[in-house]
Amino acid sequence: MKKNLLISVLFTLVTTVLLGIIYPLVVTGIAQVVFPKQANGELIKVGDKLVGSHLIGQPFTAPGYFWSRPSAAGTAGYDPTGSSGSNLGPTNKALIDRVNASVQQLQPTNPGTPIPADLVTTSGSGLDPHISPASAEFQVPRVAKERGMSEQDVRALVAKHTLGRQFGFLGEARVNVLDLNLDLDALHPMR
Partner 1 sequence: MTANGWLQIGLFFVVLLAVTKPLGVFMARVFSGEKTFLDPVLRPIERLIYRSCGIDDKREMDWKEYTVAMLLFSVVSMLLLYLIERVQQWLPWNPQHFAAVEAHLAFNTAASFTTNTNWQNYGGESTMSYFTQMAGLAYHNFASAAVGIALAIAVIRGIARKESKTIGNFWVDVTRCMLWVLLPACLIIALIFVSQGMVQNLRPYDTAKFLNPQTVQTTGADGKTTTQTVTDQVIAQGPFASQEAIKIFGTNGGGPFNANSAHPFENPNPLTDFMQIVMMLALGSGLTYTLGRMTGSQRHGWAVWAAMAILCLAGVTVAYAMEAHGNPLLHGIDQHTSAMQPGGNMEGKEVRFGIAPTALFATTTTDASCGAVNGMHDSFTPLGGMIPLVNIMIGEVIFGGVGAGLYGIVVFIILSVFIAGLMVGRTPEYLGKKIEAYDVKMAMLVVLIFCLIVLGLTAVAIVSPFGTSSISNPGPHGLSQILYAYTSQAGNNGSAFAGLTGNTPWYNVSGAFDMLLGRFFMVIPVLAIAGNLARKKIVPESVGTFPVTTPLFTFLLISVILIVSALTFFPALSLGPILEHLLMHAGKVF
Nearest residue to 131 via CA among 47, 59, 31: 59
Beta-sheet pairing, 130-131 with 174-176: antiparallel
- In the chain, the amino acid numbered 10 is L
Say whether 185 sits in a helix, a strand or coil.
helix
Between 122 and 157, CB nearer to partner 1: 122
CA dihedral (126, 128, 134, 140) in degrees, to 10, reads 90
Least distance from partner 1 to the Cβ atom of residue 162, Å: 10
Of 153 and 183, which CB lies nearer to partner 1 in the complex structure? 183
Nearer to partner 1, 90 or 191 (CB): 90
Minimum distance from residue 144 beta carbon to partner 1 (Å): 18
Q: What is the smallest separation between the CB atom of 75 and partner 1, expressed in angstroms?
A: 5
Single-letter code of the amino acid located at 126: G
Q: Which of 41, 148 has the CB closer to partner 1? A: 41
State the virtual CA torsion across 17, 18, 22, 28 in degrees, nearest 10.
-120
User: What is the closest distance, in whole angstroms, from the C-beta atom of residue 77 to partner 1 in the complex?
Assistant: 7
